[in-house]
């Protein structure tokens, strides 16, 4: 919900606001694809169990339900083709894994080798990316469930075949829902992306409006938000571009793609507007109210974007867009500031404010474009692109066998994780056998679900799983003492199962509570010793979670500090290529090339990857966070560098500009050289620095150019020409912004070289 900084302190108002927030969150959850997918999965599981239990073939129903359960993890947002292939692959891998594990576990001497090799081999397939990791999870789950003996009335090969059929049954149910509401996944992703973008704008606005902002806290939040935005952008690209190139000129898809393009532009514009708010406040102390009006407009843009996100997620009307009217007031506030200061004395500050107004106007225009598209008022807006070119914006996964060979070593995080998982699961199995633990496969299941290649995520999941299991066990015990009604257990079991599936990606602790409840109630229907079931469920979960956490800590952990250098280098290289594209376009001023857009996208993705790596590093043990403060400074330098690049690139793209000067060339070459030096140092390469490009003289030339333009304008003012003409203002803005950004970029690149050199010294 919209959150402006000046909230009403009245307690009744706050209570009403909280209730509205809870209502919105509930409606959003019930309309989400996570909830609808959980409903689909619950139906797919329950129907065969009910049908075959009435016909006396419960084993068949359970096997089909297992197939549904194993196929569902790979049913994630993406193109229709990937959805179908993902579910079918999961069903096939689950069926084969269960077949191998089922027969091997019949022989004692073959069980442990099979368990080790299957865990390693199936997990290792996740080198093929995120979607592959979801498919491999189905295979791992199938191996574990082969120890469960959920039904014994049919042969293993028959059960394996039924698992595959169950996967196909789930696919049919999922596709039926998809065709019934084909746009729901796109709408949710689009709405969530708008919400994330609004939150990002609000975080940037805090840097401008708060008196003493906590820069580190806000910057970390910006890093985290950027990672989420990158993930949502990738998913939306896949859905929208794939559906448009396969289904032709769909009006719905065209409009959603236009909205997505505007959202990407809004993110770039937000990054392209870095500003020293404290300097501005100090320089304009006498105009606090006008300055506040200008700054609060950034919150209003976030609020409007959030309202549109809510309208998509609720399928409701947006309401009137107030941004054009509010923008008019900010222009008036700027006019008051301009009229009350000495233009010659405050010229640079006024140019910064002018750039702020231009930024706000562009953002307001982008948000208004989205508003019109949602209201079907932009029917004639055209979107023309070549299918072959636009597909370059999609991230393609290479499924070559060479990928397996390249990752078959200890340098690969996936190789380490697969080996670690195989060892820990094997130890978990031996503990269960040695102590004759009832339902010991729960230990294995807990390990498979919790263990991740990243230590921080494993630790977080371990904590949440244990807390969720304990709470779920306590709730279950309370209900068992209240009633022993089988119908109540059945209803609660189904409800808990649905809630668990729908919350697994949103709130892992709550999902763990419902997973525990659903398992306990299902066992309560089948067995009378439900309190013993609760006891063993808790014990097995604690054992499994403890083994997972310990295994990730002692068995060849891949600490982020060890692998952060290539990630930094990739981000710096992406920035260097983006700078080269901006340089090229500044000279040519032709149609914006595809290479520019691709390098811009790459720079945004790489800074997101770097931010994500740093966030994971913060979750690791303090003893493993090597050079933490220094790496934070490097990440922040890269983030700021990209912001300055985006600022310069956006200005050059959206304004008429003059021919680049020789001084610009010198600065650009010096900055690029500094970036190359940083990359070589990060990669451990020997580098030979050429004769250092001096920018001192170039800086003087650029300043002289600005001073000359300023003097000409001063002469006009003295001659009585108070209203500046558009061309003169454009030249002044260009000179001021380009000078400022070049000096800033050069300073940042120099600092980057120093920080990377320092990082090298500490790691020697």
Q: How far apart are CA 265 and CA 267, in angstroms?
A: 5
pLDDT score for 384: 47
Mean pLDDT of the chain: 81
Of 15-19, 197-201, 477-481, 565-569, the least confident: 15-19
The answer to whether 67 and 94 have CB atoms below 8 angstroms apart is yes
Among candidate residues 463, 189, 159, 400, the one with its CA nearest the CA of residue 313: 189
pLDDT score for 690: 53
C-beta neighbour count of 454 within 10 angstroms: 22
| pTM, 2 dp | 0.81
Looking at residues 370-389, what average pLDDT do you find? Answer: 61
Q: How far apart are CA 562 and CA 693, in angstroms?
A: 33
pLDDT score for 397: 58
- pLDDT (tens digit, 9 = 90+) per residue, 51-64? 988 888 888 888 89
The answer to whether 490 and 448 have CB atoms below 8 angstroms apart is no
Half-sphere exposure of 168 (CA within 13 A, CB side): 8
The answer to whether 428 and 422 have CB atoms below 8 angstroms apart is no
DSSP string, 467-535: HHHHHHHHHHHHHHHH---HHHHHHHHHHHHHHHHHHTTT-HHHHHHHHHHHHHHHHHHH-S-HHHHHH
The answer to whether 749 and 671 have CB atoms below 8 angstroms apart is yes
DSSP string, 569-636: HHHHHHHHHHHHHHHHHHHH--SPPHHHHHHHHHHHHHHHHHHHHHHHHHTS-GGG-TTHHHHHHHHH
Of 386-390, 577-581, 760-764, the least confident: 386-390
The answer to whether 62 and 49 have CB atoms below 8 angstroms apart is yes
- pLDDT (tens digit, 9 = 90+) per residue, 227-248? 888 888 888 887 877 665 444 4
Among candidate residues 409, 453, 431, the one with its CA nearest the CA of residue 552: 453
pLDDT score for 2: 43
User: From the CA atom positions of the chain, what is the Rg in Å?
Assistant: 30
- pLDDT (tens digit, 9 = 90+) per residue, 428-462? 999 988 887 777 788 898 898 888 888 888 888 88
C-beta neighbour count of 626 within 10 angstroms: 17
pLDDT of residue 188 exceeding 60, the answer is yes
Query: Domain locations in the chain?
Result: 31-182, 184-393, 408-558, 561-763
Looking at residues 105-111, what average pLDDT do you find? Answer: 83
Q: How far apart are CA 159 and CA 59, in angstroms?
A: 9
Tell me if domain 184-393 and domain 561-763 are identical in fold.
yes
Q: What is the DSSP letter of 157?
A: H
Q: How far apart are CA 128 and CA 697, in angstroms?
A: 51
Q: How far apart are CA 499 and CA 514, in angstroms?
A: 6
Could you tell me the two tokens for 640?
A: 């700021």
- pLDDT (tens digit, 9 = 90+) per residue, 323-367? 888 888 888 877 777 777 677 777 777 777 777 788 888 888 888
- Indicate the pLDDT class of residue 574, thresholds 50, 70 and 90: very high
Which phi and psi angles does 376 have, rounded to 5°? 55, 35
621-630 contacts, C-beta under 8 A, 24 or more apart? 621/455, 621/553, 624/455, 624/557, 624/559, 624/561, 625/561, 626/559, 626/561, 626/762, 626/763, 627/561, 627/759, 627/762, 627/763, 630/755, 630/758, 630/759, 630/762
Q: What is the DSSP letter of 660?
A: P
pLDDT score for 599: 87
**CATH class of segment(s) 561-763:** mainly alpha
pLDDT of residue 577 exceeding 90, the answer is yes
Distance between first and last Cα of the chain: 50
- Indicate the pLDDT class of residue 9, thresholds 50, 70 and 90: very low
- pLDDT (tens digit, 9 = 90+) per residue, 272-329? 765 555 556 565 666 666 667 777 888 888 888 888 888 887 777 777 788 888 888 8
Contacts (Cβ under 8 Å, ≥6 apart) of 16: none
- Indicate the pLDDT class of residue 1, thresholds 50, 70 and 90: very low
pLDDT score for 594: 81
The answer to whether 514 and 508 have CB atoms below 8 angstroms apart is no
- pLDDT (tens digit, 9 = 90+) per residue, 606-662? 888 888 888 888 888 887 777 888 988 998 899 888 888 888 888 888 778 888 878
pLDDT score for 6: 47
Could you tell me the two tokens for 339?
A: 């009229």
Could you tell me the two tokens for 126?
A: 């996740």
pLDDT of residue 757 exceeding 50, the answer is yes
pLDDT score for 452: 85
Among candidate residues 620, 668, 655, the one with its CA nearest the CA of residue 733: 655
Of 182-196, 255-269, 376-390, 694-708, the least confident: 376-390
- The CATH number of 184-393 is which of 3.30.2010, 1.10.3470, 1.20.58, 1.10.3300? 1.20.58
As to burial, measured by CB atoms within 10 angstroms (0-12 exposed, 13-18 middle, 19+ buried), residue 372 is middle
- pLDDT (tens digit, 9 = 90+) per residue, 484-495? 787 888 888 888
pLDDT of residue 717 exceeding 80, the answer is no
* Element (DSSP H or E) covering residue 78: none
pLDDT of residue 88 exceeding 90, the answer is yes
- Indicate the pLDDT class of residue 735, thresholds 50, 70 and 90: confident
Task: Give the number of residues written for the chain.
Answer: 764
User: How many Å separate Cα 462 from the centre of its chain?
Assistant: 22
């Amino acid at each position: 919900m919209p959150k402006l900084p000046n909230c009403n302190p009245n307690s009744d108002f706050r209570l009403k606001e909280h209730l509205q927030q809870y209502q919105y969150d509930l409606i959003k959850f019930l309309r989400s694809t996570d909830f609808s997918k959980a409903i689909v999965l619950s139906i797919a599981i329950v129907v065969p169990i009910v049908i075959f239990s009435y016909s006396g073939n419960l084993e068949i129903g359970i096997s089909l339900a297992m197939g549904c359960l194993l196929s569902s993890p790979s049913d994630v947002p993406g193109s229709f083709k990937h959805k179908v292939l993902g579910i079918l692959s999961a069903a096939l891998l689950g069926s084969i894994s269960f077949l191998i594990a089922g027969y091997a576990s019949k022989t004692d001497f073959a069980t442990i080798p099979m368990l080790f090799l299957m865990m390693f081999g199936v997990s290792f397939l996740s080198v093929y990316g995120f979607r592959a990791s979801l498919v491999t999870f189905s295979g791992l789950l199938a191996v574990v469930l082969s120890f469960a003996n959920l039904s014994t009335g049919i042969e293993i090969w028959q059960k394996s075949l039924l698992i595959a059929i169950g996967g196909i049954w789930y696919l049919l149910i999922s596709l039926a829902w998809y065709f019934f509401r084909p746009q729901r996944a796109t709408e949710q992703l689009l709405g969530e992306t708008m919400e994330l973008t609004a939150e990002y704008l609000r975080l940037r606005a805090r840097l401008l409006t708060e008196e003493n902002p906590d820069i580190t806290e806000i910057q970390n939040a910006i890093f985290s938000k950027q990672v989420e935005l990158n993930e949502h952008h990738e998913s939306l690209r896949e859905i929208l571009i794939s559906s448009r190139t396969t289904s032709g000129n769909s009006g719905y898809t065209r409009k959603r793609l236009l909205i997505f393009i505007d959202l990407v532009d809004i993110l770039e514009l937000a990054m392209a507007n870095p500003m020293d708010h404290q300097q501005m406040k100090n320089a304009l102390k006498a105009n606090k109210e006008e300055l506040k009006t200008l700054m609060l407009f950034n919150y209003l843009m976030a609020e409007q974007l959030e309202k549109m996100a809510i309208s998509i997620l609720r399928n409701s009307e947006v309401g009137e867009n107030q941004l054009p009217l509010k923008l008019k007031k900010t222009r008036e506030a700027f006019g008051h500031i301009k009229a009350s200061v000495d233009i010659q004395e405050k010229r640079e500050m006024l140019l910064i404010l002018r750039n702020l107004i231009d930024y706000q106007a562009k953002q307001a225009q982008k948000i208004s474009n989205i508003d019109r598209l949602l209201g079907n008022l932009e029917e004639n807006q055209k979107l023309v692109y070549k299918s072959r070119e636009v597909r370059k914006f999609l991230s393609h996964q290479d499924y070559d066998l060479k990928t397996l060979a390249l990752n078959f070593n200890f340098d690969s995080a996936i190789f380490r994780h697969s080996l670690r998982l195989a060892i820990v699961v094997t130890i978990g199995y031996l503990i269960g056998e040695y102590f004759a633990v009832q339902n010991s496969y729960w230990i294995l299941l807990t390990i498979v679900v919790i263990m991740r290649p990243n230590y921080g995520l494993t630790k977080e999941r371990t904590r949440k799983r244990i807390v969720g299991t304990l709470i779920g066990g306590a709730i279950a015990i309370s209900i068992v003492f209240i009633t022993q009604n089988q119908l109540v257990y059945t209803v609660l079991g189904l409800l808990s199962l649905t809630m668990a599936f729908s919350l697994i990606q949103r709130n892992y602790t709550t999902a763990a509570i419902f997973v525990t409840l659903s398992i306990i109630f299902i066992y309560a229907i089948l067995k009378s010793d439900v309190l013993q079931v609760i006891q063993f469920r808790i014990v097995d979960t604690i054992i499994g979670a403890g083994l997972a956490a310990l295994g990730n800590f002692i068995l060849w952990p891949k600490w982020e500090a060890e692998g952060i250098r290539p990630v930094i280098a990739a981000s710096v290289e992406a920035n260097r290529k983006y700078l080269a594209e901006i340089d090229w376009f500044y000279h040519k001023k032709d149609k914006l090339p595809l290479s520019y857009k691709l390098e811009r996208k790459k720079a945004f993705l790489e800074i997101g990857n770097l931010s994500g790596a740093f966030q994971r590093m913060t979750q690791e043990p303090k003893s493993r966070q090597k050079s933490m403060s220094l790496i934070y400074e490097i990440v922040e330098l890269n983030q700021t560098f990209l912001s300055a690049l985006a600022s310069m690139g956006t200005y050059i793209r959206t304004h008429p500009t003059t021919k680049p000067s020789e001084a610009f060339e010198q600065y650009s070459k010096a900055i690029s050289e500094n970036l190359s030096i940083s990359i070589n140092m990060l990669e451990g390469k020997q580098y030979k620095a050429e004769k250092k490009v001096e920018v001192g003289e170039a800086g003087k030339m650029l300043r002289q150019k600005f001073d000359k333009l300023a003097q000409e304008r001063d002469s006009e003012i003295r001659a009585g020409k108070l209203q500046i003409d558009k061309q003169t203002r454009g030249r002044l803005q260009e000179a001021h912004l380009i000078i400022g950004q070049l000096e800033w970029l050069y300073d940042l690149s120099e600092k980057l070289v120093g920080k990377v050199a320092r990082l090298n010294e500490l790691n020697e």
